[in-house]
Structure 1
Amino acid sequence: MTVSLDRRQFLRFGAGLAGMTTAGSFGLQLAAAGSAAGQSASDYKAIVCVFLFGGNDANNMVLATDTDSWGRYFSARNQGADPIALMPVGTPATPIGAINPVTGRASALGKPEHWGGVLPIAPKTTQAIPAGTTASNRTFALHPLMAPCKTLFDQGRLAVMANVGTLIQPVTKAQYNARSVSLPANLYSHNDQQSTWQAGAAEGARIGWGGQMGDLLMSMNGTNTIFTAITAGGTAVYLSGRNVVQYPLSTNNSPAIIVNGTASTSLYGSTAAPAALKEIISNTASTSDFANDFGSVVNRSVGAASVVNEVFGRSVVTSVPSPANYTNPATNAVETNSLALQLRTVARMIAAGPSFGLKRQVFMVSLGGFDSHDTQNRDQSNNLAKIAHAFAYFDQTLSNIGGVDMRNSVTTFTASDFSRTFSTNGDGTDHAWGGHHLIMGGAVKGGDMYGQFPTVGMDVNGFSNPGMVGASFIPTTSVDQYAATMGAWFGVGNSDLNTIFPNLRNFSTANLGFV
């Protein structure tokens, strides 16, 4: 697969290549870097953002299962034409067509009755009992189609971050209703909340926190700073820095961005045309400064692409395995798991890292389809199963990169626009606010839950949930705290973290301690 770019996109990607040397000397640097191939993984670190576009319903991904919480959960979600309430822990899968004893409905492919009960997890640290919850001990579980994530949690390489979301400062229900404190702009808006998660400001922000961390640590990558910020899942503001510009890779076996036409043996029927096109678009002797700048960008980009493709042909990279086949649990059809393929590209870039002398990298991959206003049972179940499949693949792959276990050097985390309403609209959910997320890695203090899991339940029948407005949980942990914790592990100093996250000082704890 070849990635096509228009001129505006190409300039955007290439602007950050200014610090890179010419293709010829770049190739010489790689040739001289062979001795670095055996370097220890201890001086390398990577952060991988898995962005779930559309707003993942975290309420069906991580669940409180104590009797009090489960009762309120089931009451709120076991309603409508296609109820989205999951089955309790221990409920066996109901054969298709048979009546489920919990719901009284016939089981069908792609329905909660057919999946069986949610998968229990036992956090190492006892969760505090929040106001409005009567349970003496809270218990938890994952979605029934996320068994690989349960395994990772039980093995101590996956943790849950509870009820995190965009915040400027801590907010109570009374303060929200009175609008007496500052709130993030345009809550519940996809574009604005995606941007706020990635860059701390609404749509239009140009600098993301992943890119800013890359700015601070890119010097550790020597002259090859072009490979500091890598996207395998489409461009996003998260990876844009003041100096760092994201470098896109595709998910096929020739991953570098290629300028269409210049890499072919012929163009428009002419064998001479590819070289002529390359000369035209890389010309730096024009009377136009813009044309000269564009030519310089093309020169560097084309050179970098050919070098990346050469390195990706080496055995240490080609030995990175492809993910196993993926079966959609709602249809039983074998599908492509695009998230797993993106993580394969990330793993291959990590395998190539020693050849480039890289020490710090920020990656982004993504999965769409989480805007589950309708058909949530079918769509979200498939997406959550893809996450679990991809995480298990990535963890296993990182355990042996060229004979080195890289899991302690790579921290992977989920992010999303927002969570979904705790109530159902009949066969789905609507935009909400705070939600739960997953963090994976060998350095992660896994098998535990961080932050405060909220009181569960809607404001009905005289019950008032102190942590909910409308059908949305008010976050009790900010994105700033979540991100800064990973930034500290990555090597960003406290003063720089406060610059990247200016709202961080509004919260009592800057480092949540999960990594």
Structure 2
Amino acid sequence: MSSRVSAQGLPAAGGHKALVCLFLDGGNDSFNMLVPRESDEFQRYRAARAGLSLQAEELLPIADAASARAFGLHPEMAAMQSLYAAGELAFVCNVGTLIEPTTLAAFENRSARLPLGLFSHSDQVMHWQTSTPDKRDSKGWFGRMADVLDALNESPKVSMNISLAGTNILQSGDSLIPYSITPNGAIDLQFYGNEDHQYFKGAVDSVLDQQYQNLLQRTYARFNRSAIDLGVEFNAAVGEEIPFSTEFPDTRLGDELKMIARSIAASGNLGHQRQTFLTRRGGFDTHDDLMDAHEGLMREVSDAVGAFWAAIKEMGLEDEVVLFSASDFGRTLTSNGDGTDHGWGGNHFVLGGGLHGGRLYGDYPENIGLGNDLDTGRGRLIPTTSVDQYFAELALWLGTSQSDLSLALPNIERFYDLGSSSSPLGLWG
């Protein structure tokens, strides 16, 4: 059955919403991003991390509004500390790929079904993007979700799935694929559309508009014609004038989030009631030089996200946009000498859309010391929140109905009752 059959369960369009995935490529060492500050918890953290632990006095203090437990952010995350304090940002704790709820005993006696290629970059990136860790898939949960929700859009030519990371699985569905852009907008032919080079445009149009008899030539011309026209349409929709005055950091991530903010502002011109975006920042595979490398990464992420949110608020779109983090996996709590190795469960952040911020969701273990009841070895923690639960919150916010969740997230019923009156984690109540 086509996923579009379920479009009868769509919400009324109502207004625009955009979901932005910031993928931290390589496996973010997220237990140095979000650190326990309660005395006993911090001492266990320090013992496990040894030379890779942050100092208590340098952490940026936050508290979980629900439990009053004390935590600290990496010292380079001042912008995100401010967003958390303002109730606009939350953390989802110890998230990872799971086929089914898993205990340490089931892991050790091998009775638990485990994600394919556990601890492998390529497999875990795929599973985070597909949310089907029991198989290797070519369709992503953004793509499957968009196959249903695209019916809310006004027959746009440009896909609602817009990528700053090129072709990807996350945004690929049965009927929709990602539309790739750059920090400067759509990729177009040099000089095409430039009034000073109309001869170039005329030559290209002449070649592409011919009626070719050869099927390969005809198909090639058609795809190129479509790509050029879409590029022109996208750039015209976004326009040259930047609709906000917020300054973004001069980094690749800053540039990409700036373009995403501009694309969100242009949603009306693009005919989009629903949008998804993907941007990726590499460098998180910190097998060595963890402390220095992670410091720079945390600063870049925090500053870029802070600027992005300032621009979104300047445009009055804060209720229409959610940005969330994803990554291959967490990392080992123990050191390999100068860094950490591939782990499993990790911590993530969610920003915007009117969520109940200033809180931690899921389960941040009170004991992350070595040998705890989630430790599969070297501090590789079994996730206590599945990616399915995390993504279900986001899908519901974007407008996916509970009855359609299993179309986007085929494994969701292993972790969440689709008939429940409450949401999987409660980010929006």
Normalized against structure 2, the TM-score is what?
0.90
Please tell me the residue identity of whatever aligns with 1:174: A
- Distance in 2 of aligned mates of 1:221 and 1:230: 14
- Distance in 1 of aligned mates of 2:385 and 2:336: 27
- Distance in 1 of aligned mates of 2:324 and 2:200: 45
- Distance in 2 of aligned mates of 1:152 and 1:181: 38
Residue aligning to 1:145: 76
Matches within 5 A, 1:296-375: 296-313=222-239, 315=241, 318-321=242-245, 323-325=247-249, 336-375=250-289
Q: Does 1:287 align with 2:213?
A: yes
Q: Deviations over 1:373-403 (max 9, x none)?
A: 00111111111111110111011100122xx
Secondary structure of 1:47's aligned partner: strand
Please tell me the residue identity of whatever aligns with 2:159: F
Matches within 5 A, 1:162-241: 162-201=93-132, 205-241=137-173
2:372 maps to which of 460, 465, 478: 465
- Distance in 1 of aligned mates of 2:413 and 2:173: 22
Identical positions, percent: 34
Residue aligning to 1:62: 34
- Distance in 2 of aligned mates of 1:75 and 1:224: 55
Secondary structure of 2:229's aligned partner: helix
Residue aligning to 1:257: 187
**CA separation of 1:289 and 1:65: change in aligned 2, threshold 3 A:** same
1:482 maps to which of 370, 373, 390: 390
Contact 2:41/2:368 (<8 A) preserved? yes
Secondary structure of 1:50's aligned partner: strand
Secondary structure of 1:171's aligned partner: coil
- Distance in 2 of aligned mates of 1:302 and 1:273: 13
| Runs (5+) with no aligned partner, structure 1 | 1-40, 92-116, 127-136, 326-335
Shift of 1:311: 2.7
Matches within 5 A, 1:29-44: 43-44=15-16
Q: Deviations over 1:125-158 (max 9, x none)?
A: 11xxxxxxxxxx7421111111111110010000
Contact 2:164/2:256 (<8 A) preserved? yes
Q: How many residues align?
A: 409
1:84 maps to which of 48, 52, 55: 52
Residue aligning to 1:514: 427
2:400 maps to which of 469, 492, 507: 492
- Distance in 2 of aligned mates of 1:429 and 1:420: 6
Matches within 5 A, 1:362-511: 362-401=276-315, 405-459=316-370, 464-470=371-377, 471-508=379-416, 511=424
Q: Deviations over 1:352-373 (max 9, x none)?
A: 1112232000111111100000
Residue aligning to 1:328: none
Contact 1:323/1:340 (<8 A) preserved? no
Shift of 1:445: 1.1
Residue aligning to 1:122: 63
Shift of 1:57: 0.3
- Distance in 2 of aligned mates of 1:312 and 1:188: 40
Contact 1:122/1:447 (<8 A) preserved? yes
Larger Rg: 1
Secondary structure of 2:186's aligned partner: coil
Shift of 1:291: 3.0
- Distance in 1 of aligned mates of 2:305 and 2:199: 46
- Distance in 1 of aligned mates of 2:166 and 2:333: 30
Secondary structure of 1:238's aligned partner: coil
Shift of 1:437: 0.1
**CA separation of 1:201 and 1:279: change in aligned 2, threshold 3 A:** farther
Shift of 1:242: 1.1
**CA separation of 1:284 and 1:493: change in aligned 2, threshold 3 A:** farther
- Distance in 2 of aligned mates of 1:340 and 1:324: 6
Residue aligning to 1:12: none
Root-mean-square deviation (CA, aligned residues, Å) is 2.2
Shift of 1:250: 1.0
- Distance in 1 of aligned mates of 2:14 and 2:87: 20
Secondary structure of 1:72's aligned partner: helix
